[in-house]
């Protein structure tokens, strides 16, 4: 059975066993564009990837399934060299602990996503980044663009162009990197992991 057949079986829920880890050459390959119309499997895969992220953020499901929490997943992490990414960025409760009006700041499956324009200004998360394909901490600022314009297609083949900033921008850049064979630590300054280049925005 092929990888995509296994992942898209109706009873299958993506879990940590489906995710390949650093050292696997698929993570270093430039993934192929999908073509439209998508196959049914490519549509289902996107839905399963988003479901994985939902499960990973649900304390009960995450515990039951042994999942690490994630906000993004790219098909190459499932050993599928296709340009498919899923993003699920939750909004946080307010200071009083009230739940947010909208549960998610960004919830989407993007096909053939690419950065078509970006700010001169760089940005990095204060906390650094992690990755479901990397079972170790790699400290340091992961230097990315502060703001990006991203073009992608949805499952219907409709083209979208969106502008992203802040945390959403970082997450989407991390996942698009996976489709280009780039790992987050490639963007950490090896000599000075916490160097702040002129004007770099540090996102708390
Ligand atoms: Zn990753």
Q: Note the pLDDT of residue 37.
A: 98
**Which pLDDT score is estimated for 124?**
98
Q: How far apart are CA 78 and CA 73, in angstroms?
A: 9
Predicted TM-score (pTM) of the model is: 0.97
Give the helix/strand (H/E) hosting 55: helix 40-57
Residue numbers in the known binding site for Fe cation are 131, 174, 178
Binding-site annotation, residues: 131, 174, 178
Calculate the average pLDDT of the chain: 97
User: Dihedrals φ, ψ of 85, to 5°?
Assistant: -135, 150
pLDDT at position 190 is: 96
Give the angle 119-188-120 at the CA atoms, nearest 5°: 10
* 5 phi-psi bin (left φ>0, alpha ψ -120 to 50, beta other): alpha
Give 131 Cα–ligand 1 centroid separation in angstroms.
Answer: 4
Place of tokens 């790699």: 138
| Sheet strands side by side (includes 147-153) | 72-74, 84-90, 104-118, 147-153, 159-165
Cβ–Cβ contacts within 10 Å for residue 167, how many?
A: 16
Q: What is the CA(39)–ligand 1 centre distance, in A?
A: 25
**CA neighbor of 169 nearest in space, from 50, 82, 46, 87:** 87
Give me ligand 1 centre to Cα 183, in Å: 7
Closest CA to 149 of 184, 185, 176: 176
- CA proximity to 149, closest of 166, 160, 162: 162
Cα 202 to Cα 178: distance, rounded to the nearest angstrom? 22
- Provide the annotated active-site residues: 175
Residues in the chain where the model's pLDDT stays below 50: none
What is the Å distance from ligand 1's center to 66 Cα? 18
Omega before 37 cis (within 30°)? yes
Q: What confidence score (pLDDT) does residue 161 get?
A: 98
As a whole number of angstroms, the distance between CA 58 and CA 47 comes to: 17
pLDDT in tens, 153-201: 999 999 999 999 999 999 999 999 999 999 999 999 999 999 998 899 9
Give the per-residue pLDDT at 137. Answer: 98
What local confidence, expressed as pLDDT, does residue 164 receive?
98
- pLDDT of 4: 97
């Amino acid at each position: 059975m092929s990888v995509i057949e296994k992942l898209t079986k109706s009873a299958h829920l993506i879990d940590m066993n489906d995710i390949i880890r650093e050292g696997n050459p698929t993570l270093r390959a430039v993934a192929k564009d999908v073509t439209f119309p998508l196959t049914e499997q490519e549509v289902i895969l996107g839905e399963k990837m988003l479901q994985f992220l939902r499960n990973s953020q649900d304390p009960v499901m995450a515990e039951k399934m042994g999942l690490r929490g994630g906000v993004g997943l790219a098909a190459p992490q499932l050993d599928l060299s296709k340009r498919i990414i899923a993003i699920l960025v939750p909004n946080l409760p307010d200071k009083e602990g009230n739940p947010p009006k909208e549960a998610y700041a960004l919830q989407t499956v993007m096909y053939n996503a690419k950065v078509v324009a970006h700010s001169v200004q760089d940005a990095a998360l204060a906390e650094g980044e992690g990755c479901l394909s990397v079972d170790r901490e790699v400290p340091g600022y992961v230097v990315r663009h502060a703001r990006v314009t991203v073009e992608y297609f949805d499952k219907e083949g409709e083209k979208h162009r969106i502008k992203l900033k802040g945390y959403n921008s970082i997450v989407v850049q991390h996942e698009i990197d996976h489709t280009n064979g780039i790992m987050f630590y490639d963007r950490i300054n090896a000599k000075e992991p916490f160097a702040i280049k002129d004007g770099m925005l540090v996102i708390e």
